[in-house]
Amino acid sequence: MNSENDNDRSSSENRDGFVFGLPRLVWIVGIVSFFSNSASVIITAFSAEFIINILGASPSDLGYIRGLSEALSYLVKMASGVFSDWLGRRKILMLVGYSCAALAKPIFSFCQGLNSYIFAQILERITNGLRDTPRDALVADCTPKDLKGAAYGVRQSCAFAGSMMGAVLGFLMLQHYGGSENVIRNIYLFATLPIFVAVLLIYFGIKEPGNIAKLKDRKGFPIKKDDVGQLGKKFWYYIFICFIFMCSRYSESFLVYRAQHLGLQVKYAPLVLALMYLFNSPTSRIVGNWSDKHERKLFLAFGFCMMLVSCIIMAFATEIWQVMVGVAVYGIHYGATQGTFYAMVSDYSPPHIKGTSIGIFNLVCCVGMCISNAITGELWKHYGAEMTFLVNSVITFVAAVGVIFIHNKKRSEI
């Protein structure tokens, strides 16, 4: 363990190769996320329209499809985290994951039934899971401990900016070519291009740091009981609160569907997500910087409260502009929480199992989001939008109260 601590300490003291106060590698990973998310948001923006109006499914089908695919994504994130720790390498898994995503995107364009769409959605999310945990572990590997919040804030901010760009481009294409089924299918094909840019950036731009602890020489299963035991009770309580919160975090597709439910035309659907990411990206960057100087759980509580406010607004919205206010607040919540989640996981994690720790977090998110999307879809189908968002607001409130008792690790403990 001393060697791992020495590596972490040396990375904190060596500031060569930094750009704008952060390791160059963090910015490259951020740019990769920018291009990747600009493609992925297209799938999300048109999910409700494609599943419900083109393929003839129901809101509950939307919930189950999004929930199942996200659950599988987070399961793969767990496995890829363990495997990247075992290999002591992150880049190869990122490269495979992003390359497979480039191959998965075009399948959406050719879906003729719900089963083929489910296959495409699951494949797309699995490739997402394969790359995400090694990518976030790589950020932790190369970033000094006093800059973890800022690093994850930049990574998330770039990803959200890419999502906003993708949503705007989707809107412009619909404006120019119309909102027919064929146009949407062609936009799905177009979404393949940014992923290839991300693959090239990973291959040519990323060089892994030499301080990643390897578990490959161990006999038997690479992760031992003692390793997980080092995480401690405070880590597991934090994970428990994250699980409760994830049971209320529904897919962004439901934000789009809520607006369409009140009369929004399909050609404006991407702008719903663009608005969310407009508030998402700067919030992530600001909170990331501040969380390195103050208690991270304060920002987690703030994000949970924003989710609560968003749910209430969405529940009682009767006009499209009110939905847009709820979407903006949802964006603030997402920006405040997502980078903070990973920074806190990194705070709790010993250097040699950072990928595993992030994988555990993702596994918990998997179960929570699967439950959330299933509940959201079923409640919407049987009781309508108002009851759906009110139930989610109650779950969010419980999680927000639980944040009070989270132990925020001091900088000397990290």
Tens of pLDDT, residue by residue over 303-329, are 999 999 999 999 999 999 999 999 999
pLDDT of residue 176 exceeding 50: yes
Report residue 332 as tokens. 């603030």
Residues 347-362 pLDDT 10s: 887 777 777 788 788 7
Q: What is the mean pLDDT of residues 161-176?
A: 86
Q: 203-234: per-residue pLDDT in tens?
A: 998 887 766 555 555 544 555 666 666 777 88
What's the rounded mean pLDDT across residues 107-123? 86
Residue 73 has pLDDT above 70, yes or no: yes
* pLDDT the model gives residue 212: 59
Task: Tell me the pLDDT tens digit for each residue of 77-87.
Answer: 878 877 887 77
In the chain, what are the domains?
A: 14-209+224-413 (1.20.1250.20)
pLDDT at 60 over 70: yes
